[in-house]
Amino acid sequence: MREAAVSRKTKETSVEVSVNLDGAGVYDVSTGIGFLDHMLEQLSRHSLIDLRVRAEGDLHIDFHHTTEDVGIAVGQAVDEALGDRRGITRFGSAYVPMDETLSRVALDISSRPYLIWRVVFSRPKLGEMDTELFKEWFQAFAQAAGITLHVENLYGDNNHHIVESCYKALARSLRAAVAIDARAADQVPSTKGTLGAAG
């Protein structure tokens, strides 16, 4: 079982995350931010990655530090659970529709983090959460997990649908990319033989 647990503590937040990449999409999430909890639950359910998150942060200031640090901790846990990446499919992509909305995610578990974010919101908040913080979460996650991540909303009107389709597309892409390739289960999927900074 490819599992990892991460604890991240700063003066601003305290975050504990555990993941099981070979899970069943079981989640137990509490960040103090209702909409973020909802998105992380979608991520777990549709990736089949078991996810437990406990976060306490300076929400009396705003949601920025907690959102970013949860992204970092989830990314770190995924990175640790992947180990040397041996046997993984490595690449994944997904189109996810949600009513009038369609979003696309493509990713490479490359150990070369990069985010392309082509998502525009027409409202400043969803619930109590600033919509600008979703990019911060995806950036933090990609950086900590060592993933090249492209996220694009192709069209849509409802902001809730837009962001939820992005998380679900990330989930389905991760599900494909972390899966073990039965034809190359003992190999690191790179011609260089490693998935490090130059993989």
Residues in the chain: 199
CA-nearest of 143, 147, 124 to 199 is 147
What are the angstrom distances between the C-alpha of 57 and each of 29, 127, 158?
Answer: 14, 18, 29
pLDDT of residue 198: 40
pLDDT reported for residue 151 = 98
10-residue mean pLDDT series, the chain (199 residues):
96 97 98 97 98 97 97 98 93 98 97 97 94 98 98 98 98 97 73 55
pLDDT of residue 193: 62
Distance from CA of residue 49 to its chain's centroid?
11
76, HSE (Cβ side, Cα atoms, 13 Å) = 15
Instruction: Please say whether the beta carbons of 137 and 36 come within 8 A.
Output: yes
**Structure confidence at residue 183 (pLDDT):** 82
pLDDT value at position 197? 45
Domain 3-184 has what CATH class? Answer: alpha beta
Query: Considering the entire predicted model, what is its pTM?
Result: 0.93
Q: What strands lie across the sheet with 3-9, from one edge to the other?
A: 3-9, 13-20, 50-57, 27-30
pLDDT of amino acid 2: 96
